[in-house]
Amino acid sequence: MKKVILFTLTLLVISACTETKKEETQAELFARIDTEILQNSKAYSTLKEASETIGHRLTGSENGAKAEEYTFNKFKEYGYEVEHQTFEVEAWARGMVALAIDDEQMKVVTLGHSPIKSDVTGDIIDRGNGLEADYLSDPDGVRGKIALVYINILEGSPEGLTNLHRSEKTSLAMKYGAIGIIIINQVPNGVLLTGTASVTGALIPIPAVCIGMEDGMAIKAQLKDKSVSAHIEMTNKSDMIKARNVVATLTGSEIPHEEIVIGGHLDSWDLATGAIDNGIGSFAVLDIARAFKANNLQPKRTVKFIMFMGEEQGLFGSRHLVAEAIKGNTIDNIKYMMNLDMAGNPIGMNAGGKLENETFFTALGAAIQKQDTVYQNTFSNRSGLHSDHQPFMLEGVPILSVHSNLDRSIYGCYHSDCDDFNLVNKDHITNTARFGTMMLYGLANAETLPAIKMDSETTKQFMIDNNLKEKLIIGGDWKWGE
């Protein structure tokens, strides 16, 4: 009799435990996730350690390789199957640069993928915002001369202009025959930025440099009254190198062949440590991976956590991963790509692609907001370019990113020598890990995904609707003809 009672009690305990496990609501799960990350998040501390012990994370450099190994080991420490995905590219590194304006030396920095060696002299021609319209009134006016353009849209410009990336402005300058380009930064107090001037990631034939806002505006003022000449001299390096994406995989419990990719680019430029671009994004991805293991999250779909290299020099790592997926006929397995690039303190979501169910994201956002009203549950359905979501998006893969609520002043250090760890706000990067974990789990565990892969024509129309056609044509990524 005692054995029967004991057996019955055992069954009741097992049943109660099973029932308790099944009954965890989304609110309870998110509360559990939230508590754990608030107590144990490593995003801030790992970024601090990497910034202090590695420094910048330039693709192809010794530092870049150290960053690849650092994150590989962290994923391992957190309990993941991890692999390096190696790719070979021609990587660029800066050498010396000098700029003289009417024989007066100026503070200057080289833009990425400028020539290995260049020594040019020419008259400066002001091309305003550097858009196509700025050349059309005098198509030959910059031929054999040096173009001067503003990195953003100048105050007083016509309404409704769409800005271009620095690489696209450089491409237009080359199209109209410029022998060099000087780009004026928009940040005051002489801050200079770097970044690629190539739309393809290949070397460009003309020198491209950046000067400070005050110097640039002074040159623009001089040009109203007289001709001004520039002498640009530089040396750089470019070599074939091997770099590595770092990929950690969490296999799905029910539909493992369906994959959700979450990534952030690990690489940075070399003027500082790249704490904001993109330390706060990539190290948040690393902590989201930690939180999945720490909270025993086992979604229906496979999740791949990826540290992309080569983003800054031409989306090399993400292009390689997508190309390999196409080659291996696995691209259709990738159902969503979530990208964290300079993302911090999220207050909402952006879901790019053709949505079948927009309310999925607002409902998911409402559940996140219940944990903390810092999250405002804003939502949009749009997309831009020049980050690692782009190769996925061009194959019709739906994308997800966040609406960040960061101190705008930190963006003044974008790609510059002040992008260091002191800019990182611990609460903000922790919020990215908190809310990002909930977003990712909600998506990877959804009964039905809110968007499906777009076919070619739908993808084309999405690009047009987001005013991306001209930029993609300039960059050589428009694949639909006219």
**327-367 tens-digit pLDDT:** 999 999 999 999 999 999 999 999 999 999 999 999 999 99
- For residue 135, give the nearest of 96, 177, 94 by alpha carbon: 177
What is the Cα–Cα distance from 87 to 282, expressed in whole angstroms? 19
Q: What is the pTM of this model?
A: 0.93
- What pLDDT band is residue 308 in, cutting at 50, 70 and 90? very high
pLDDT of residue 482: 75
Q: Which two tokens stand for residue 180?
A: 């060099």
| φ, ψ for residue 467, nearest 5 deg | 55, 40
What is the Cα–Cα distance from 226 to 284, expressed in whole angstroms? 51
pLDDT of residue 435: 98
Whether residue 475 contacts residue 168, with contact meaning beta carbons closer than 8 Å, is answered with: yes
What is the Cα–Cα distance from 337 to 13, expressed in whole angstroms? 41
Q: List b or e across 367-386, with b for residues whose CB sees 16 or more CB atoms inside 10 angstroms.
A: bbbebeebbebebebebbbb
Question: What are 121-161's pLDDT values in tens digits?
Answer: 999 999 999 999 999 999 999 999 999 999 999 999 999 99
- What pLDDT band is residue 22 in, cutting at 50, 70 and 90? low
* pLDDT at residue 1 tops 70: no
- CA-based angle 106:237:114, to the nearest 5? 50
DSSP 106-161: E--EEPBT--SEEEEEEEEEE-TT--THHHHTSTTTTTTSEEEEESSPPTTPPTT-
Question: What are 422-433's pLDDT values in tens digits?
Answer: 999 999 999 999
* CA distances (Å), origin 470, targets 34, 148, 163, 177, 303: 42, 21, 11, 20, 34
Question: CATH number of the domain at 103-227, please?
Answer: 3.50.30.30
| Rounded average pLDDT over 15-26 | 63
Percent of the chain with pLDDT over 70: 95
CA torsion sign for 313, 315, 321, 324 is: negative
Whether residue 422 contacts residue 280, with contact meaning beta carbons closer than 8 Å, is answered with: no
- The residues spanned by each domain of the chain are 33-91+240-474, 103-227
Give me the CATH topology for the region 33-91+240-474. Aminopeptidase (3.40.630)
